[in-house]
Every structure is written in C-alpha cells, then in structure tokens.
Amino acid sequence: MPKAPRAKPVKAGLEATIIAHDPQMVEIVRLLERLATASSNVVLSGESGTGKDLAAHALHLWGERSALPMVTVDLPSIPGSLLESELFGYERGAFTGAAQRKAGKFELAGKGTLFLDQIGELSPLHQAKLLRAVEERRFERLGGTEPVELEARLIASASADLEEAVTRELFRRDLFHRLGVFWIRLPPLRERPADIVPLAEHFLEKEVERRGRAPRRFSPDALELFATYAWPGNVRELKGVVEHGAILSKSETFERADIPAYVLESPSVTWGVTLHKRPTLAAVEKSYIERVLRDVGGNTTRAAEILGISRKSLWQRRKRYEVD
C-alpha cells in the first residue's frame, strides 16, 4: 500500500505528515508533491476539518520555499475595517494611530508562502483589491503610493461551496480563476474509509508521545465504531475523539467506552456514508492484528493474549488476511 511522504518540519510549529492509504488520498498526496516544486497559485477546498491547512503546509514544506516564511492569514478572524492594512500594511500617518510604517502579511511572506485561509469570507471590496494584487504581482501599503512586489506563492483555502458562491455572484469569477490555477478538493473522512484506522492509530501514537500514559492500542469494538461513524467533523473530529479517550482511558487499550457519548449514541448506520464505501469488519480486524503484532515486535504468543484468541486462531487469521 503506498504511503504519503513524511516531511520533517523546518520551522517551529509546522509539520506536514499526511496519512494516506485510501486511493484518492494517495493521488492527492502525489499531486501535492508535484505542486510543491511549482510556484502556481493553489486553492484547497473541502469541508471543515478535512486538513486544508495541513495540505497547505505540505505544499510549503515539501518544496524549495521550505526554509522561507510561511504566513497564514485567518481571514474570518480579521474585522473588515482592518483587513486591508493587515494584508498590505500601511504607511506612517495613513490613519489615526499609524505612528510608523508597518509591513502587512503580503510583505512579511517575502519569497515564501502566503496562505489565505477561508478565501470565501472576503467582501466584494476586498476581493477586488486582492484580484488587483494577484494580477499585477504588486500592491501599495495603505496610505502609500510606492509599489511593493508580491513575491510570495499564494495558497488559499475555501469551503466546499465556493463554486456555488461564484454561480450566485457572491464571489468574483475572475478572482476564482486567478487563485485556482490548481484546485484540489480534499475529501471528507467518510469518503476515505481506508484512512480512518491509520489516522486513529497515528493520533494515538502522538498522545502516547505527549502524555506517556495513554493507551497504546484500540479494541476491536472501538475500531468497528470508528469505521461505521460518519465523522461529520472529519479528521479534526477524529483527532479530538482519540484525545478524549486517551485522557480518560484507564488501561493500555482504548475501549469503546472511552469514546464520547455523542458518538456512541449516533446510529451505527449513518446518513451520508454509503455501504460500499465502508471498510468491512475484516479490514478493521486485519488492521488491528497488524497493529498488535507491531506493538509486540511480532511475538505471536503475546499478540494472541492481547487479542484474546489462541495462537492457532491468530495464525489462521494472519493467513486469511495475508498478514506477515
């Protein structure tokens, strides 16, 4: 099974490890690898929690700009009256309280990467100003006339309904195409079922590293529930559920009872997840056996004890699932 590359973080707080076993995610990672070496604008779209920020970091860290700044602008968090000065900076005296020149996010990014998070939140006025900067590759600080070169690579994120906003003329079509030279849709977790267990295991490993006393494996019941739940909050929700259970668990095994009540009380068959996209119970069992065997260094006796089956049953399952 192909795996995503693991990029070593080169700046504090930045990491770009993408877990990809599901075929469509494997293809997305390959595309990210290719685009990381380019300078074209990229738009990352998808539901909340699908990993758009992680993909943006991958585009930065996996390319030649990795040693340069990556500046993230959380557009919804900036009041409209301040957005222009935050993006483009301002000159001394541009407004009351502007005692000295200040560089904006575009300038601070230098020749690195500028990540505009939630581009669909821009007002029509700010869409027009951004379009001009993107087209001309230059801008002026607020209150100034001297042009400043835009040298950073632009990456933007958008919700899944940005195209609808364009159709309804709530978002400029010309800006849509200028920013989206490449358009990457990150699928919701329910559409990448092969990644659910590997992601859960990755998050659990991180909790063990961070806390030292977190459970080290999942019970089959917990994994089965993970495989059937719809995950409306996507990867972000899965991460939170694993963290919740890791804190509350009292044993080395993450049990079904360690999962938050709101997940436990949801229907086992949920709307929005078609049966043919669900991993089978056999796939979940195979993944769990592989995980236990890794944890015990391949010790068959110890693995059988943890799994609660005989060595013969373990041997039969390994043969059936082709587990080395």
42: β partners: 155, 182
Give residue 26's domain range: 6-187
- Confidence band, pLDDT 50/70/90 cuts, at residue 278: low
8 Å CB contact between 176 and 162: yes
Q: Is 281 a residue whose pLDDT tops 50?
A: yes
8 Å CB contact between 114 and 164: no
**Shared-domain flag, residues 154 and 38:** yes
**Given 166, 187, 208, which residue is the final one in a domain?**
187
**Given 187, 209, 234, which residue is the final one in a domain?**
187
8 Å CB contact between 41 and 182: yes
CATH of residue 37's domain is 3.40.50.300
Confidence (pLDDT) at 270: 43
Tell whether pTM > 0.85: no
Encode pLDDT of 74-130 as tens digits: 998 999 888 999 999 888 877 878 778 888 999 999 999 999 999 998 999 999 999
8 Å CB contact between 40 and 179: no
Burial class for 124, CB neighbours closer than 10 Å (0-12, 13-18, 19+): exposed
- Which segment of 4-18, 88-102, 109-123, 264-278 scores lowest on mean pLDDT? 4-18
Q: Any idea what the Cα angle at residue 209 is, between residues 205 and 214, rounded to 5°?
A: 70
- Domain assignment present for residue 313? The answer is yes
What's the chain's average pLDDT? 85
